[in-house]
A = this chain, B = another copy of it.
Amino acid sequence: MKVDGKDIRPIWYDSTTQIVQVIDQRRLPHEFAVMPLTSVDDIIVAIKELAVRGAPLIGVTGAYGVMIAAMTAGDGQDRKEIIEHECLRIKDARPTAVNLAWAVDRTLSKTLAKDDEADQIKAACDEADAISEAEAENCRLIGEHGLPIIQAISEKKSGKSVNILTHCNAGWLACVEYGTATAPIYTAFDRGIDVHVWVDETRPLNQGSRLTAWELGKHGIDHTIITDNAGGHLMQHGLVDLVITGTDRTTYSGDVANKIGTYLKALAAKDNGIPFYVALPSSTFDWEIRDGITDIPIELRDADEVRRVQGFSNGQLTTVLVSPADSHAANYAFDVTPARLVTGFITERGVCGASESEVKALFPDLSPAIAS
């Protein structure tokens, strides 16, 4: 996507310098900084500390991490074990995002199919590139398949602005291009449909007010930042036509793990008869888990992310303490929205309902082994 007129992605591999580069999203929207990742530890820190975040991007980053593991594993007899061990460490960096394990395992398998070190590195690099391109293409297709939903609302409103609420950042910063939740929005905007986005700030890390607002602003899309508390009120008053979020992991039965607070917006959408869509590439489906609420592990992050807020003050990134220093805090990173609250999934293959039968019907090739 464009940043100040230049085409850029949130991650790329510079084949000349042989270095993986990422946009350091911790510094956005205040500073646009590019960060090299040259070791597996760099990869893990970038994922853990959210320099890169978002299910598809984490997957791509993990895949390049396998390449770095292959580059740095040495030529000892335990080379294979080292690479495998490094891959376990990478997968452990964010337990909720299913894409990470998926992308790492896929790249690892291609890598270890080769015997020679150079071949392994090339296989890992090719696979990481392929995953990256596939994610970009998936997001483009999600945009195409989501477009008619926005188009229909726009026509019903006689061209008046379509108000779309989104939570967290499932934009191109979270993916490679277009984003997931934002893909239909970018596509609609690019086709001349009048859209306005309500951006949930998304505490504790404010991915909405920091990243989604920045992305949309750079693309020229009208948007308004709101607190996470505000969406229900807006829906009660007819100010939201549609909710679209991303997801970090979605069960084949339709339960959606996404940034903490998504469930509350889904409840409000249901209570006010507003469609609630989740946009995702099929790599985000978990084909093993049926009950998302009981079985998806929910990451508990550092409590200081709740007690403190980072922002810009006097020209520099500053963290302020909001609460009493000695109060306990808990930082659940995700929640699970049950399928009954989800209107549908917008995927790279099209739109389907949030039920096992509809998901399986759209992805019969990916869901062979599910016992009913």
Contacts and interface: CB of A to CB of B under 8 A. Distances in A.
Contact of A224 (B222, B267, B330): B330
A319 interface: yes
A276 to B, nearest CB: 13
Interface stretch (A117-125, A151-159, A281-289, A306-314): A306-314
B209 A322 contact: yes
B263 A227 contact: no
Interface stretch (A42-50, A68-76, A199-207): A199-207
Interface in A12-66: 29-30
A259 to B, nearest CB: 7
A312 B320 CA distance: 5
A231 B203 CA distance: 13
Given A230-B330, A306-B209, A313 B311 contact: no
Nearest to A208: B323
Contact of A231 (B209, B264, B271): B264
Contacts of A309: 309, 311, 320, 322
A18 B288 CA distance: 71
A201 B307 CA distance: 9
Chain A contact residues: over half helix, strand or loop, or mixed? Answer: mixed
Contacts of A29: 323-324
Q: Taking each of A308, A324, A335, which has the highest tally of chain B beta carbons within 10 Å of its own beta carbon?
A: A324
A268 B261 contact: no
Interface stretch (A78-86, A175-183, A210-218): A210-218
Given A225-B323, A306-B226, A232 B263 contact: yes
A223 interface: yes
A321 interface: yes
A189 interface: no
B322 A264 contact: no
Contacts of A231: 264
A298 interface: yes
A228 interface: yes
Interface in A295-333: 298, 306-313, 318-324, 326-332
A210 B263 contact: no
A342 interface: no
B328 A223 contact: yes
A336 interface: yes
24 contacts: A29-B323, A199-B327, A201-B306, A201-B322, A201-B323, A203-B227, A206-B322, A209-B322, A210-B322, A217-B326, A217-B327, A225-B330, A227-B331, A229-B260, A229-B264, A230-B332, A263-B268, A264-B264, A309-B309, A310-B320, A312-B321, A313-B318, A313-B320, A318-B320
Closest 6 CB pairs of A and B: A229-B261, A311-B320, A233-B335, A209-B323, A225-B329, A267-B267
